[in-house]
Amino acid sequence: MTQHVLRIGGREYQAEVKDLTPEHALILVDGKEYEVEILQLGRRVIPVDAARPSAAPTPRPAATSGVRPAAPAPAAAPRPAASARGEGGIVAPMPGLVLSIKAKEGDTVAAGQTLLVMEAMKMENAVTTPYAGTVAKVYVREGDSIGEGDLLVDVARPKMTTL
């Protein structure tokens, strides 16, 4: 599928991703095949459910080359997912890259105002707020890669009063 050259601990390895799904990958490293369970893909945490076996990466029988599987890199702390967002959470409509942030915490914003600009599928997309309020929290920075449904900004709505 895709081939890579990896440097781990000063040593280079030839790696090939043979099969990739959102939950599993089959990776060939210097002739040794590994079946890997994916727990986090980008910033999106893959939910663990009872139907999915929870196995550690296990090598499949292949030619022995003396290569040890690398320890997984420490995962970046994921942003809160859509289900964890507050009432005023603005989420990413699609995966992409944050190009610029147009509002900062504490700013008062009007309905339809652009909060940030993201690039997705080689196009710039403005992410706007559907209502007026105050920016309570910005969860992303310029240059961040984001996944669909990632929480980007919390906009607090003003308290409603009666006349």
Residues 94 and 56 both lie in one domain: no
The pTM for the full model equals 0.48
pLDDT top residue among 86 and 47: 47
Residue 52 lies inside a defined structural domain of this protein: yes
Tokens of 4: 């890579």
Number of domains in the chain: 2
The residue assigned the tokens 């980008």 is 42
How much is the pLDDT for 137?
A: 92
Residues 107 and 41 both lie in one domain: no
Interatomic CA distance for residues 56 and 129, integer angstroms: 42
Would you say 17 and 29 are in contact if contact means Cβ atoms under 8 Å apart?
A: no
Would you say 109 and 93 are in contact if contact means Cβ atoms under 8 Å apart?
A: no
How much is the pLDDT for 40?
A: 65
Would you say 133 and 109 are in contact if contact means Cβ atoms under 8 Å apart?
A: yes
Phi, psi for residue 84 in degrees, rounded to 5:
-100, -5
Estimate the share of the chain in helix, then strand, then coil, as percent rounded to the nearest 5: 0, 45, 55
Residues 104 and 150 both lie in one domain: yes
pLDDT top residue among 138 and 52: 138
CB atoms within 10 A of CB 42: 13
Residues 106 and 53 both lie in one domain: no
Judged against a pLDDT cut of 60, whether residue 57 lies above it is answered with no
What's the whole-number average pLDDT of the chain?
Answer: 75
Judged against a pLDDT cut of 60, whether residue 95 lies above it is answered with yes
Residues 23 and 56 both lie in one domain: yes
- Could you tell me how many residues make up the chain? 163
Q: What is the CATH number of the domain that holds 131?
A: 2.40.50.100
How much is the pLDDT for 73?
A: 46
Residue 76 lies inside a defined structural domain of this protein: no
DSSP string, 50-90: TTS-----EEES-----PPPPPPPPPPPPPPPGGG--TTEE
Q: In terms of residue numbers, what domain contains 129?
A: 82-156
Residues 7 and 49 both lie in one domain: yes
- Confidence band, pLDDT 50/70/90 cuts, at residue 24: confident
Residues 98 and 41 both lie in one domain: no
- Confidence band, pLDDT 50/70/90 cuts, at residue 103: very high
Residue 65 lies inside a defined structural domain of this protein: no
Among 4, 39, 38, CA closest to 18: 4
Residue 54 lies inside a defined structural domain of this protein: yes
